Amino acid sequence: VGSDATRGGGRGSKIVGDSWYFLSTRGFNSYIVKMNSDGSEQIVSPKINGAINCFDYHNGQFIYVAMRNNGLQELYTCKEGADCEEKLTSFNDEYLNSHAISPLKPLNFVDSDGVEIDGWVIEPVDYDPNKTYPAILDVHGGPKTVYGEVFFHEMQLWASEGYFVFFCNPRGGDGKGNEFADIRGPKYGVLDYNDLMEFTDKVLEAYPQIDPKRVGMTGGSYGGFMANWIIGHTDRFAAVASQRSISNFISKCLTTDIGYYHNLSAVQSDPWNSPEEMWNRSPLKYADKCVTPTLFIQSDEDYRCWMCDALQMFTALRMHGCPTRVCLFHGESHGLSRIGKPKHRIRRLKEITDWFNTYLKK
């Protein structure tokens, strides 16, 4: 369950006797699951919305770090199989009580293929339904991950800046089985894109207070791929911030730590046997159609999504007269937004917020 406010490592699985305990995403929540030697499994932590980040287990008792109720990480404990838990710490209460935290409002829908999609909307701080507002669509990475009902700092910041923020779990993500997650090959950038566009339509329908001409979009990693893909397939967004992105599956395959097998899984092609399919799935192919002002955020030690992809897309947009800017962070990795140096994390968020303020608050 994605968040930019998780800390620490910790255990994600443990074998006890002939049973295996591990963290697993179900829907948009993560739980502790027990698998028995016969292959059967059951959820053994309370079925409470949020995310368990790590845990330990001893003599039928769990202790774990979790995020609950749009809050930050705290320690909890429960007995195996219990329906409730005990909160052990309140490290973040002072922060949460002294800042304006906007609630997450569910907005689920059934897409045009009959698939149920989970989504949420965060209203601006001091929201007045008689006013109009800009909005930001935030797309998660992965795509094998999910958004859920946990604290997300950048979203709360934008809400405090007067934005609606909306986000969903399109096809390709975790928590709903293999069929839901399967967007491989020619479905990559199609099924997921359709879900995101239909979700945007639903949000605008539900909230006429959002000015449809002042809607932006951002995302990182897979979300950065989707940002690059979106600007080549629609002009509905007034500004985009593309972070640690993919633009060219050929260079992605040959320059990154997972490229050689990620390509075979995601787009089911390689540069020698099916280069045309790799190019068809690459946002760079459609860069000549881009008109949306686009900011690229990239780290120069990001080996998951190497900076050449962001630079290729940036250069292509410049060549075709599309307003664009690139901000390169030295000495940072793929995890800039979560584990980067504090000064760089502040600068990254300022760059994105300033970009949106420039184009969405005109």
Number of residues written out for the chain: 362
pLDDT digits (tens, 9 = 90+) for 37-58: 999 999 999 999 999 999 999 9
Residue among 221, 247, 269, 337 flagged as catalytic: 221
Q: Are residues 302 and 221 in the same domain?
A: yes
What average pLDDT does the chain have? 97
Residue 6 lies in a domain: no
Catalytic residue selected from 242, 245, 247, 334: 334
Taking residues 240-247, report their average pLDDT: 98
Q: Would you say 327 and 351 are in contact if contact means Cβ atoms under 8 Å apart?
A: yes
Q: Is the pLDDT of residue 311 over 90?
A: yes
Share of the chain above pLDDT 90, in %: 97
Residue 232 identity (one-letter amino acid): G
Q: Give the pLDDT band of residue 149 (cuts 50, 70, 90).
A: very high
CA distance 210 to 163: 9
Report yes or no on 34 lying in a domain: yes
Q: Under a CB-based contact definition with an 8 Å cutoff, are residues 159 and 165 in contact?
A: yes
User: What pLDDT does residue 113 have?
Assistant: 98
pLDDT over 80 (residue 358):
yes
From residue 170, alpha-carbon distances to 3, 27, 80, 108, 304 in Å are: 17, 12, 32, 11, 22
Final residue before a domain boundary, out of 94, 129, 155: 94
Query: Looking at the structure, do residues 144 and 203 belong to the same domain, yes or no?
Result: yes
Residues 18 and 134 in one domain: no
Q: Is residue 243 part of a domain?
A: yes
Do residues 292 and 238 touch, judged by C-beta distance below 8 A? yes
pLDDT at 362 over 90: no
What pLDDT is attached to residue 185? 93
Q: Into how many domains does the chain fold?
A: 2
Q: Which residues contact 320 (CB under 8 A, 6 or more apart)?
A: 287, 288, 290
Q: Are residues 62 and 114 in the same domain?
A: no
Beta-bridge partners for 216 = 136, 239
Question: Considering only 213-222, 223-232, 261-270, 306-315, which range has the smallest mean pLDDT?
Answer: 261-270
Verify that 166 and 307 share a domain, yes or no.
yes
Q: Are residues 222 and 274 in the same domain?
A: yes
Quote the CA–CA distance of 52 and 111 in Å, as a whole number.
29
Same-domain pairing of 236 and 345:
yes
Domain boundary among 52, 70, 94: 94
By the 8 A CB rule, do 268 and 296 touch? no
- Residue 140 annotated to the active site: no
pLDDT of residue 209: 99
pLDDT at 320 over 90: yes
188-208 mean pLDDT: 98
211 and 306, same domain (yes or no): yes
Domain of 233, CATH number, reads 3.40.50.1820
Check residue 10 and give its pLDDT. Answer: 87
Residue 210 CB contacts under 8 Å (≥ 6 apart), including other chains: 132, 133, 134, 135, 164, 203, 204
Residue 319 lies in a domain: yes
The pLDDT value recorded for residue 263 is 87
What is the mean predicted confidence (pLDDT) over 271-278? 94
Radius of gyration of the chain (CA): 21
Residues 134 and 185 in one domain: yes
Share of the chain above pLDDT 70, in %: 100
pLDDT at 170: 98
Q: Is 334 a catalytic residue?
A: yes
Determine the structural domain holding residue 61 and report its residue range: 13-94
Shared domain for 115 and 153, answered yes or no, is: yes
The mean per-residue pLDDT over the stretch 80-105 comes to: 97
Please say if the pLDDT value at position 8 is more than 80. no
Which residue has tokens 């006013």? 131
Domain boundary among 75, 94, 113: 94
**Residue 2 counted as domain residue:** no
Closest to 3 (Cα-Cα) out of 140, 142, 179, 122: 140
Three-class DSSP category at 311? helix
- What token pair was written down for 146? 């999910």
